[in-house]
Amino acid sequence: MPTINVIDRSGAKREVEAEMGLSVMEVIRDNGFDELLALCGGCSSCATCHVYIDAEYADKIPAMQEDEDDLLESTDHRNATSRLSCQIEVSDAIDGMTVTIAPED
Ligand code: FES
Protein backbone atom coordinates (compact mmCIF):
# COMPACT_ATOMS: atom_id res chain seq x y z
CA MET A 1 0.00 0.00 0.00
CA PRO A 2 1.40 3.44 -0.86
CA THR A 3 2.16 5.84 1.93
CA ILE A 4 2.01 9.62 1.89
CA ASN A 5 3.28 12.22 4.30
CA VAL A 6 0.80 14.80 5.53
CA ILE A 7 1.90 18.13 7.01
CA ASP A 8 -0.81 19.85 9.00
CA ARG A 9 -1.23 23.57 9.61
CA SER A 10 0.94 23.43 12.73
CA GLY A 11 3.79 22.04 10.61
CA ALA A 12 3.59 18.55 12.10
CA LYS A 13 4.30 15.75 9.64
CA ARG A 14 2.84 12.26 9.78
CA GLU A 15 3.16 9.29 7.45
CA VAL A 16 -0.12 7.59 6.63
CA GLU A 17 -1.11 4.61 4.53
CA ALA A 18 -3.07 5.47 1.40
CA GLU A 19 -5.62 2.89 0.40
CA MET A 20 -6.13 2.28 -3.30
CA GLY A 21 -9.47 3.48 -4.58
CA LEU A 22 -9.59 6.45 -2.24
CA SER A 23 -8.74 10.05 -3.01
CA VAL A 24 -5.94 11.81 -1.16
CA MET A 25 -8.64 13.92 0.52
CA GLU A 26 -10.30 10.79 1.90
CA VAL A 27 -6.97 9.45 3.13
CA ILE A 28 -6.20 12.71 4.94
CA ARG A 29 -9.69 12.97 6.45
CA ASP A 30 -9.83 9.29 7.45
CA ASN A 31 -6.56 9.74 9.33
CA GLY A 32 -8.05 12.38 11.58
CA PHE A 33 -6.84 15.62 10.06
CA ASP A 34 -9.99 17.57 10.92
CA GLU A 35 -8.61 20.83 9.59
CA LEU A 36 -9.11 19.54 6.05
CA LEU A 37 -12.81 20.33 5.88
CA ALA A 38 -13.60 18.83 2.45
CA LEU A 39 -17.05 20.34 2.75
CA CYS A 40 -18.40 19.18 -0.59
CA GLY A 41 -17.37 15.60 0.00
CA GLY A 42 -15.15 15.44 -3.04
CA CYS A 43 -17.33 16.68 -5.87
CA SER A 44 -14.99 19.53 -6.75
CA SER A 45 -17.12 22.43 -5.64
CA CYS A 46 -15.69 23.81 -2.39
CA ALA A 47 -11.84 24.03 -2.46
CA THR A 48 -11.66 23.26 1.28
CA CYS A 49 -9.49 20.24 0.48
CA HIS A 50 -6.69 22.46 -0.87
CA VAL A 51 -3.19 21.04 -0.43
CA TYR A 52 0.29 21.72 -1.72
CA ILE A 53 2.03 18.74 -3.27
CA ASP A 54 5.67 17.89 -3.84
CA ALA A 55 6.63 19.58 -7.10
CA GLU A 56 8.47 16.42 -8.16
CA TYR A 57 5.18 14.52 -8.15
CA ALA A 58 3.31 17.01 -10.30
CA ASP A 59 3.98 15.02 -13.47
CA LYS A 60 3.12 11.70 -11.85
CA ILE A 61 -0.52 12.48 -11.19
CA PRO A 62 -3.22 13.42 -13.69
CA ALA A 63 -3.24 17.06 -14.71
CA MET A 64 -5.94 19.23 -13.21
CA GLN A 65 -9.17 19.77 -15.06
CA GLU A 66 -10.72 23.16 -15.71
CA ASP A 67 -13.13 23.01 -12.77
CA GLU A 68 -10.29 22.31 -10.34
CA ASP A 69 -8.29 25.15 -11.82
CA ASP A 70 -11.25 27.53 -11.49
CA LEU A 71 -11.82 26.57 -7.86
CA LEU A 72 -8.18 27.03 -6.95
CA GLU A 73 -8.33 30.49 -8.52
CA SER A 74 -10.95 31.37 -5.91
CA THR A 75 -8.61 30.62 -3.00
CA ASP A 76 -6.32 33.17 -1.37
CA HIS A 77 -3.40 30.80 -0.94
CA ARG A 78 -2.86 29.24 -4.34
CA ASN A 79 0.70 28.55 -5.43
CA ALA A 80 2.37 26.56 -8.21
CA THR A 81 1.96 23.28 -6.30
CA SER A 82 -1.69 23.72 -5.33
CA ARG A 83 -4.12 20.88 -5.96
CA LEU A 84 -7.50 19.83 -4.66
CA SER A 85 -6.79 16.64 -2.74
CA CYS A 86 -10.18 15.17 -3.66
CA GLN A 87 -9.08 15.16 -7.28
CA ILE A 88 -5.94 13.08 -6.69
CA GLU A 89 -6.60 9.37 -6.74
CA VAL A 90 -4.36 7.10 -4.72
CA SER A 91 -1.99 5.10 -6.90
CA ASP A 92 1.51 3.69 -6.66
CA ALA A 93 2.65 6.86 -8.44
CA ILE A 94 2.08 8.93 -5.29
CA ASP A 95 3.96 6.61 -2.93
CA GLY A 96 6.17 8.79 -0.75
CA MET A 97 4.55 12.07 -1.76
CA THR A 98 4.25 14.82 0.83
CA VAL A 99 1.11 16.93 0.90
CA THR A 100 0.79 20.07 3.00
CA ILE A 101 -2.65 21.22 4.05
CA ALA A 102 -3.04 24.77 2.73
CA PRO A 103 -4.02 27.62 5.06
CA GLU A 104 -7.72 28.19 5.52
CA ASP A 105 -9.20 30.92 3.31
S1 FES B 1 -13.69 18.29 -1.15
FE2 FES B 1 -14.67 19.97 -2.08
S3 FES B 1 -13.41 20.45 -3.74
FE4 FES B 1 -12.40 18.80 -2.78
What does the pLDDT look like over 3-35, one tens digit per residue?
999 999 999 999 999 999 999 999 999 999 999
So what's the pLDDT on residue 30?
97
Q: Count the domains in the chain.
A: 1
Residue 80 DSSP class: T
**Ligand 1 pocket, 88 CB below 6 A?**
no
- Mean pLDDT in residue range 35-45: 96
Q: Which of 27, 44, 50, 82 to probe ligand 1 with, by most ligand atoms within 8 A of CB?
A: 44
What does the pLDDT look like over 59-77, one tens digit per residue?
999 999 999 999 999 999 9
- Mean pLDDT in residue range 31-55: 96
Tell me, what CATH number does 54's domain have? 3.10.20.30
93 lies in which domain range?
A: 3-101
Q: Which helix (H) or strand (E) segment is 98 a member of?
A: strand 98-101
Question: What one-letter code names the amino acid at 26?
Answer: E
Give the three-class secondary structure for 11: coil
Give the three-class secondary structure for 84: strand
**CA–CA distance, 84 with 65 (Å, rounded to integer):** 11
